[in-house]
């Protein structure tokens, strides 16, 4: 028996504490079992939401706010998971979301499946380290196979990009309008993508600004070749619409700065008072005159604007917005071609940006300023509309997936079919490969193959198909070299998915490596030391419901 860190009894019968009182330790098989169990539970939780026939989840937070979603990463982010191993699984969904944007549910399900199968081997006395070695080997090989089967496409192929974006939204609440939304997303992404010398593209997704406003319907969602500011025109005397706009972007205040320290100004007669005020207005007038002199008819200022300056700008007919967000200023510069100016004295004609139209519009209750019709803008906006807040929220999340998969394929133009076809194909190739692996590691490679098949199985189950029949059929097809046969969840048949559902190879790559990494990390743990909670956070009142997942019992 090895040493233990929680109360141990010495030979003389004395108890020795190394950790704080209340700390707990779980070791060996028990620790592994607990961890695997927790990770499997997380996978179980998102399982039913995989694929186009997956169900949505309604999440209620401690304040009673409701979120409806089918996005794996969002589901796991919203619920309060406490178990450390379960948390690691949640981490992989986050990592996948950041890396490739899609495939979050798949990564969690695959990790769960890998651990479940590892447990079977552990119970047959295969050492976890052997399993880890086998899994690592299988994962590396799986990525090789993926690369072999993936189809290279023409960089920037619009039709293909639309199909990819559509697939990512077909599994969501917005699936009915996925085609329309996909073309909007791809249009926006191509507009901001920068082609590299080798023909591939680079995209900074920050240049696609996504705004949302409940009202209207999802089909009213549109792309604006420019930027929308959630602000109104600052003065009622200003024009609300300017065509052929010449836009000045200023990121310093149009105010007379007050001194940092308290200054005392002694005024002894009324004429001095007048002079003092006149001095202030003449400085403000100087600033406004400068803006007029370069020919600007629209001004967006990141800081405040003094009342006097406002009325002077209004008199000059300059449509002005104040206190714009810094991030919006950068995007505006990219969209209109303007240069951000800090010192108004430096402002010149060449710093001005251009837009066909700048207009204040009323969207539901709010007034927003639209800056649109920019020439070859390098930043654009997608405005999401939809029946209600929860719908536009979920649409925004789905659009994020679509934006990310479009980016994936623009940057790495390589695709695979969906519906579990690549997973089934890789599983079949791994089984053949396993003959070259000797010893118990071979068992782990075979289990890795089995785990991959959980993706098509789950898609089938969620589509109401019989998963045993499907497994047999899909294995037979892949045995015959039909590598793109997968689950058509819409027709409920096993068929060639290439003409139907396509996905970025990059997403599958990330799903496999993230799941393998997380499961190996969990398998390597054989000792869980939990320090005592100093003040246990109270569970959310009546909500959550998932809190039972952890609760300290590890």
Binding positions for ligand ADP, rule: CB under 6 A: 49-52, 54, 70, 72, 102-106, 167, 170-171, 418-420, 455, 459, 487-490, 501, 503
Of the candidates 404, 413, 505, 411, the one whose C-alpha atom is nearest the C-alpha of residue 196 is: 411
Q: How far is the CB of 468 from ligand ADP (least distance, A)?
A: 18
Site for Mg ion contains 255 (CB under 5 A): no
- Output the smallest distance, CB 481 to ligand ADP, in A: 20
Q: Output 404 or 528, the one with its CB closest to ligand ADP.
A: 404
Distance of CA 308 to the CA centre of its chain: 44
Nearer to ligand ADP, 77 or 334 (CB): 77
Say whether 351 is catalytic: no
Q: How many CA atoms lie within 13 A of 117 on its CB side?
A: 24
CA–CA gap between residue 550 and residue 467 (Å, rounded): 31
* Annotated catalytic residue 401: yes
**What is the nearest approach in angstroms of Mg ion to the Cβ of residue 243?**
42
User: What is the DSSP track for 431-443?
Assistant: HHHHTT--TTHHH
Residue 128 contact, options ligand ADP, Mg ion, none, Cβ 5-8 Å cut-off depending on partner type: none
Q: With contact defined as beta carbons under 8 Å apart, do 462 and 54 qualify?
A: yes
- Cβ proximity of 299 and 271 under 8 Å: no
By CB under 5 A, residue 166 contacts Mg ion: no
Catalytic residue among 26, 67, 69, 71: 71
Taking alpha carbons only, the member of 184, 245, 201, 206 closest to residue 334 is 206
Task: State the nearest-atom distance from the C-beta of 554 to Mg ion, in Å.
Answer: 31
CA dihedral 168, 172, 176, 179 (to 10 degrees): -20
- With CB cut-offs between 5 and 8 Å by kind, which of ligand ADP, Mg ion, none does residue 383 bind? none
Nearer to ligand ADP among residue 248 and residue 506 (C-beta): 506
Pick 345 or 499: Cβ nearer ligand ADP = 499
Kindly state the tokens that stand for 197.
Answer: 């010398």
Rounded to 5 degrees, what angle do the CA atoms 239, 278, 313 make? 10
Nearer Cβ to Mg ion (112/418): 418
Q: Which residues contact 77 (CB under 8 A, 6 or more apart)?
A: 90, 93, 94
Active site residue 491: no
Closest approach, Cβ 139 to ligand ADP, in A, equals 18
Q: Is 484 exposed, middle or buried (0-12, 13-18, 19+ CB in 10 A)?
A: buried
What's the min distance (Å) between Cβ of 173 and Mg ion?
Answer: 12
Residue number, 319 or 404, with CB nearest to ligand ADP: 404
> Which of Mg ion, ligand ADP, none does 419 bind, CB closer than 5 to 8 A by kind?
ligand ADP
Contact status: 408 vs Mg ion (CB under 5 A):
no
Rounded distance between C-alpha atoms, residue 98 and residue 400, angstroms:
10
Residue in the shown chain whose Cβ atom is closest to ligand ADP: 418
**Residue 525 partner contact from Mg ion, ligand ADP, none using kind-dependent CB cut-offs of 5 to 8 Å:** none
H-helix or E-strand containing 509? helix 505-524
Question: Which is catalytic among the residues 105, 221, 406, 458?
Answer: 105
- Residue 488 binds which one of ligand ADP, Mg ion, none, with CB within 5 to 8 A depending on kind? ligand ADP
Among 99, 102, 328, 372, binds Mg ion (CB under 5 A): 102
User: Closest distance between Mg ion and the C-beta of residue 242, in Å?
Assistant: 42
Residue 469, token pair as written in the block: 């029949």
Tell me the β-bridge partners of 319.
298
Q: From residue 224, how far is each of 178, 396, 463 by CA, in Å?
A: 19, 16, 37
Q: Which listed residue (133, 401, 408, 458) is catalytic?
A: 401
DSSP character at residue 338: -
Is residue 71 within the footprint of Mg ion (CB under 5 A)? no
Residues in contact with Mg ion, counted by CB under 5 A, come to a total of 2
399-404-408-410 Cα dihedral, nearest 10 degrees? 60
State in angstroms the smallest separation of the CB of 506 from ligand ADP.
13
CA contacts within 13 A on the Cβ side of 527: 7
Cβ-based nearer residue to ligand ADP, 49 or 67: 49
Nearer to ligand ADP, 98 or 531 (CB): 98
Q: Catalytic residue among 69, 74, 96, 104, which?
A: 104
- Which residues contribute to the site for Mg ion (CB under 5 A)? 102, 168
Residues that are catalytic: 71, 104-105, 401
């Amino acid at each position: 028996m090895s040493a233990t860190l929680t109360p141990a009894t010495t030979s003389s019968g004395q108890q020795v504490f190394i950790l704080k009182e209340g700390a707990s330790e779980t070791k060996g098989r028990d620790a592994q079992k607990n961890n695997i169990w927790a990770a499997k539970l997380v996978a179980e939780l998102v399982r039913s939401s995989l694929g186009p026939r997956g169900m949505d989840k309604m999440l209620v937070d401690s304040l009673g706010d409701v979120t409806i979603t089918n996005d794996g990463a969002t589901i796991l982010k919203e619920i309060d998971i406490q178990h450390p191993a379960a948390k690691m699984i949640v981490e992989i969904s986050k990592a996948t979301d950041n890396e490739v944007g899609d495939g979050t549910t798949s990564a969690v399900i695959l990790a769960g499946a890998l651990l479940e199968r590892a447990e079977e081997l552990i119970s047959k006395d295969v050492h976890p380290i052997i399993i880890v070695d086998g899994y690592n080997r299988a994962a590396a090989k799986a990525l090789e196979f993926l690369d072999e089967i993936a189809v290279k496409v023409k960089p920037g192929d619009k039709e293909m990009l639309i199909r990819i974006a559509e697939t990512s939204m077909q599994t969501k609440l917005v699936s009915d309008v996925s085609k329309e939304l996909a073309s909007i997303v791809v249009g926006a992404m191509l507009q901001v993508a920068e082609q590299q010398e080798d023909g591939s593209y680079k995209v900074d997704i920050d240049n696609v600004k996504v705004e949302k406003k409940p009202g209207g319907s999802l089909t009213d969602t549109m792309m604006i070749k420019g930027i929308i500011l959630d602000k109104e025109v600052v003065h009622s005397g200003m024009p609300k619409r300017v065509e052929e706009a010449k836009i000045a972007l200023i990121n310093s205040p149009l105010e007379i700065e007050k001194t940092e320290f308290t200054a005392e100004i002694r005024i002894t007669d009324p004429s001095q008072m007048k002079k003092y005020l006149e001095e202030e207005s003449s400085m403000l007038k100087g600033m406004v005159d400068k803006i007029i002199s370069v020919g600007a008819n629209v001004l967006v200022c990141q800081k405040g604007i003094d009342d006097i300056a406002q009325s002077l700008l209004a008199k000059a007919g300059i449509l002005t917005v104040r206190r714009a967000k810094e991030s919006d200023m950068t995007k505006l510069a990219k969209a209109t071609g303007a240069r951000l100016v800090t010192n108004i004295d430096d402002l010149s004609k060449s710093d001005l940006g251009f837009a066909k139209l700048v207009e204040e519009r009323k969207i539901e209750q709010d007034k927003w300023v639209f800056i649109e019709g920019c020439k070859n803008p390098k930043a654009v906006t997608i405005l999401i509309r939809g029946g209600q807040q929860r719908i536009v929220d979920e649409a925004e999340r789905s659009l994020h997936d679509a934006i990310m998969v479009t980016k994936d394929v623009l940057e790495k133009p390589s695709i695979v079919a969906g519906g579990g076809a690549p997973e089934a194909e890789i599983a079949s190739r791994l089984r053949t490969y396993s003959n070259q692996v000797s010893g118990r590691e071979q068992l782990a490679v075979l289990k890795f193959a089995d785990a991959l098949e959980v993706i098509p199985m789950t898609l089938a189950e969620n589509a109401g198909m019989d998963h045993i029949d499907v497994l047999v059929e899909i294995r037979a097809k892949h045995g015959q070299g039909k590598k793109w046969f997968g689950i058509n969840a819409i027709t409920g048949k096993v068929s060639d998915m290439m003409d139907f559902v396509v996905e970025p190879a990059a997403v599958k790559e990330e799903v496999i490596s993230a799941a393998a990494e997380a499961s190996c990390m969990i398998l390597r743990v054989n000792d869980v030391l939990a320090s005592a909670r100093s003040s246990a956070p109270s569970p959310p009142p009546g909500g959550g419901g998932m809190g039972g997942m952890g609760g300290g019992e590890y």
